Chains A and B, each alone.
Chain A
Amino acid sequence: MRAFVIRRIMTSIPSVLGVVTLVFFMIHLAPGDPVEIMLGENAAPADRAALTKQLKLDRPIFEQYLSFLRGVATLDLGESIHTKKSVAGSIAERYGATLKLALASMLFAVTLAIPLGALAAVKKDTRYDRGAMMASLVGVSMPSFWLGPMLILAFAVELKWLPVAGADDWSSIILPAVTLGSAMSAILARLTRSTMIETLGEEYIITARAKGLSGFAVIFKHALGNALLPVVTIAGLQLGALLGGAIITETIFAWPGLGRLTIQAINARDYPLTQGCVLTIALSYVAVNLLTDILYALIDPRVRLK
């Protein structure tokens, strides 16, 4: 297992280096002078010189790159040009809220998807199956930037059951979690259905039925556990994807997380903070994928023996 973990970590290193390099070059993609874009055309020469020095844009590009790499390694991502707070500190303040939202979305998605997918598989080619798959198709096709406002309209404006936005109490997370988790739920329901159909055709399931076990025992004790293995992998990968999707959901619900901070940084043309946010989300995604692979190898020994 240790060899598998080491091998898997080694394969992630080029991706991490690539992400850091791409994020570093982001600022150099700007059409024109990045300092002028951030401060505006009428900025005082002294301010421009100070920002150029702060961002080390007066140094050779290779030196800038090495300094950026050093900063990432020591979690020193510079400071925000507007708030003057440390970028790493600002991200740390918001990271917890995004993680909470991503986990709540995943909980919602899994709770809905697994029973729905399993039911569709057990009742294959019936109206339950067609209904569940239709619902999942609608879920996949409904963009979060429409579902979110529609949920606000129904549950916050009309019914007044839940708050419109913010993160004041526990109920504030429900609508953002449903918005962010619905597409994932649809994907997981379809996957659960297909893996469950495959598992229900396996010989050990036929044996279990031949032994006279009840349908309940066959489905829940023998089939579901095995059918869920690929679902765990996809759920893990989707958790990483939720971090990216949170940008839109957090904007809709004014959720005080990393996604909203990213958009605030972009709108303020705060490049150091934007770079920090993008880098954190991408590296979190790589880390979640790595952890998912390791978790999968722990659950299924065949993976690490390959």
Chain B
Amino acid sequence: MKSLPLNLKIGFAVTLAFVLIALFAPWIAPMSPLEQDLYGGLAGPGSDHLLGQDRLGRDMLSRIAYGARISLFVGLVVTVVSVTVGSLIGATAGYAGGRVDDFVMRVCDVFLAFPGILLAIAIMAVTGPSISNVMLALCLMGWTSYARLARGQTLSLKEREFIKAAIAMGASHPRIVFRHILPNIAAPLTVEATFGVASAIVAEAGLSFLGLGAQPPYPSLGSMLAEGRQFILVAPHLIMFPGAVIMLVVMGVNFFGDGIRDWLDPKRHARGDS
């Protein structure tokens, strides 16, 4: 582990902690995230409820642990689907070139013409709020950046000798894309995918904050923030804790992505950085 960059180690530790909290939520949570205690509504942090209670007296720690599950699930599913679809489309476009490439890039331009989460908001506006629709919207929004990256990498890769040799040996186009191109562009896509997980977590929380994501009573960090905002004067803990968790996770994942990028950077090895 000595040769790993510091940001990679810190990022990995924070990300791992978040993953463990999400995976083991049923054991970490002291009670059910849906269990109400109306007498304890809006109570602050204390020995019985470490992170306090919400409007309906539900335990905040339990809700955050289960909320982390939704965030992690959405983040991973959206990233895996977006990377798979995006890299396949981008690699095919870059390898085929010509009209196929032009067409795919124009389609990407259209999707990229929607700033931030606007496209996801637009899709949610017509499909209705639910976690599955959030994932669909974020996948539709997310594949383009991977497609552009894969296409760019493929363009430079297809000029290399080993690709030309494969073509000369009569390898089929799908075989060249799947066996020779995709494995060789996996490293930059992995780095991009790490940042993609953080973006998807924030986007899901943002949509839930706007009331377009997870619906009550299920806990999502974004919808917890939206609810907590209404009680900001009397119970600031309702926004402090879920927001701090989102920030820490995003920071951790970004650190992790930065660390992987540094680790994979050949210049770093040449410099002999640790």
Q: Is A26 an interface residue (CB 8 A)?
A: yes
Q: Is B126 an interface residue (CB 8 A)?
A: yes
Q: List, in ascending order, chain A residues with CB within 8 A of B222's CB.
A: 145
Q: Is A27 an interface residue (CB 8 A)?
A: yes
B12-32 contacts to A (CB < 8 Å): none
Interface string of B102-133 (1 = CB under 8 A from A): 00001101100111111001111111100000
State the Cβ distance, A47 to closest chain B Cβ, in Å. Answer: 20
State the Cβ distance, B14 to closest chain A Cβ, in Å. Answer: 11
Contact B107 A18 (CB under 8 A): yes
Nearest A residue to B201 via CB reads: A143
Contact A145 B225 (CB under 8 A): yes
Which A-B residue pairs are the 4 nearest by beta carbons?
A18-B110, A244-B115, A146-B243, A244-B116
Q: Is B65 an interface residue (CB 8 A)?
A: no
Could you tell me the distance between the alpha carbons of A70 and B168 in the complex, rounded to whole angstroms? Answer: 52
Q: List, in ascending order, chain B residues with CB within 8 A of A248's CB.
A: 206, 209-210
Q: Which of A29, A247, A281 contacts B127 (CB 8 A)?
A: A29
Q: Is A278 an interface residue (CB 8 A)?
A: yes
Interface size on B, residues (CB 8 A): 45
Q: Is A105 an interface residue (CB 8 A)?
A: no
Q: Is B165 an interface residue (CB 8 A)?
A: no
Q: Is B211 an interface residue (CB 8 A)?
A: yes
Q: List, in ascending order, chain A residues with CB within 8 A of B134's CB.
A: none
Q: List, in ascending order, chain A residues with CB within 8 A of B236's CB.
A: 153
Interface string of B228-266 (1 = CB under 8 A from A): 110011001001101110110011001100000000000
Sample of 11 A–B contacts (CB below 8 Å): A15-B106, A21-B110, A30-B126, A31-B127, A143-B205, A146-B243, A146-B244, A157-B233, A241-B116, A243-B115, A245-B115
A285/B115 contact (C-beta < 8 A), A143-B206, A145-B225, A267-B211 known:
yes
Interface size class of A (residues with CB under 8 A): 35 or more
Q: List, in ascending order, chain B residues with CB within 8 A of A263's CB.
A: 210
Contact B247 A19 (CB under 8 A): no
Nearest B residue to A21 via CB reads: B110
Q: Which of B109, B128, B239, B250 contacts A18 (CB 8 A)?
A: B109
Could you tell me the distance between the alpha carbons of A146 and B127 in the complex, rounded to whole angstroms? Answer: 26
Beyond A141-B251, A244-B116, list 13 extra A-B contacts (CB 8 Å).
Answer: A15-B110, A23-B122, A26-B126, A138-B251, A143-B206, A146-B239, A146-B243, A153-B232, A153-B236, A244-B117, A247-B117, A278-B114, A282-B115
Q: Is B147 an interface residue (CB 8 A)?
A: no
Contact B243 A143 (CB under 8 A): yes
Nearest B residue to A271 via CB reads: B126
Interface string of B155-181 (1 = CB under 8 A from A): 000000000000000000000000000
Nearest B residue to A288 via CB reads: B115
Q: Which of A31, A149, A240, A274 contacts B232 (CB 8 A)?
A: A149
Q: List, in ascending order, chain A residues with CB within 8 A of B117's CB.
A: 244, 247
Q: Is B89 an interface residue (CB 8 A)?
A: no
